[in-house]
Amino acid sequence: MIEMKRYFAAAFMCTVFAFMIFAPMASAAPELTLRFAGQLPPDHPATGYMNSIAKEIGERTSGRIEVKVYPANQLGDYGLVHQELIKGTIDMAMISVPGDIDPRMNFVYINDYATDYATLEQVFKTGGWAYRKMDELNQALGVKFLGFNVEGFIGLASTKALVEPLNPKVDKGVLCRVPNMQAYQLPAEAMGYRIMTIPYSDLYTSLQTGVVDAVDGLPPAAAYSILKDVMKYWYQLNYSIEVEPYFISMKTWNKLKPADQAIVAEVVAKYAEASVPKAKDEDERYMKLMEESGIKVFRYTQAELLDLQKAVAETWPALSNTMTKEFMDEFVKELGPK
């Protein structure tokens, strides 16, 4: 009995000793903790990509780099987050493109340069013109571009039925929220909407309280995730694309060892490229969820949308006022009709 007690006592001391040795190793703090800002709800697929990226970076750096995800505008809306990326006070982000500093960055939202899913894959491929141009414009500001998260084609969420939604010559009978950028404002007016600019973070309350009747600039996934409790109608108009770039502050990028830079770039690129082929399935999946929630969904063929697309394309020349003629000429050469 005494020997048994001595055995258990010895075993206990060995366990305590082992814990004292290895516990500090297991709980060692990471060398670098990165704040990763997002704008979409926690249950949105894009936020899921962010969480997967954070996990994989941690695993591939053996815990030396920790990435903490902050979804749902927790660190501010996309305009503020981009400014913080420039300053280096936020490390990474997957956000809408802010055009307040350089309106040319809004080229991804120019309407109707891509109207089908096959074209999306070519436009947003790693190393393509859109990729190179987004990186060039952001590096000039102190932000590195890492890839595009392509959600899909946008539509319009409304609490009221639209008047002749496919006829651009008719007032639609609603006051519509649009993003604060000409690439959305001009096309919305060309399609017959009265418009108001409202911050992304205020979409739900503005629709709920009747400040606006409709919300523009969202694909089905974001509309369902953010507005499903207040929207009654969804019109899949396919006249623009919802895409969020992955960014990293150059100040943060320069802190990383070359091997870690390669890991971060590879991990983000993998999820960015995976988003494109999923866009079509995600659009349809969330429209079905809308229907199951009692929302009236309208889908249209390419032929039915043609009049809207023509009206939207006629607004392109006016974008030279903010994006410069030189840039728009390059855009049309690279992404315009062939």
> Does residue 7 fall inside a structural domain?
no
> Does residue 9 fall inside a structural domain?
no
> Does residue 272 fall inside a structural domain?
yes
3-state secondary structure 230-272: CCCEEECCCCCEEEEEEEEEHHHHCCCCHHHHHHHHHHHHHHH
| 179: CATH | 3.40.190.170
pLDDT computed for residue 100 by the predictor: 86
Weakly modelled stretches of the chain, pLDDT under 70: 1-28, 338
> Does residue 286 fall inside a structural domain?
yes
pLDDT computed for residue 113 by the predictor: 82
> d(Cα 116, Cα 119) in Å, to the nearest integer?
6
pLDDT computed for residue 311 by the predictor: 93
The 10s digit of each residue's pLDDT in 171-200 is: 999 999 998 888 899 999 999 999 999 988
> d(Cα 117, Cα 236) in Å, to the nearest integer?
14
> d(Cα 72, Cα 226) in Å, to the nearest integer?
10
| DSSP-assigned beta bridge partners for residue 53 | none
> Does residue 16 fall inside a structural domain?
no
> Does residue 20 fall inside a structural domain?
no
> Does residue 23 fall inside a structural domain?
no
> Does residue 1 fall inside a structural domain?
no
Q: Count H helices, E strands: the chain? A: 13, 11
> d(Cα 133, Cα 127) in Å, to the nearest integer?
10
The 10s digit of each residue's pLDDT in 51-66 is: 999 999 999 999 999 9
> d(Cα 110, Cα 117) in Å, to the nearest integer?
16
Total structural domains in the chain? 1
Which ranges of 74-166 does DSSP label H, i.e. alpha helix? Answer: 78-87, 117-123, 129-139
Smallest CA-to-CA distance from 70 within 86, 53, 93, 49 is with 93
Question: Angle at CA 328, nearest 5°, toward 122 and 150?
Answer: 30
The residue range of the domain holding 104 is 31-335
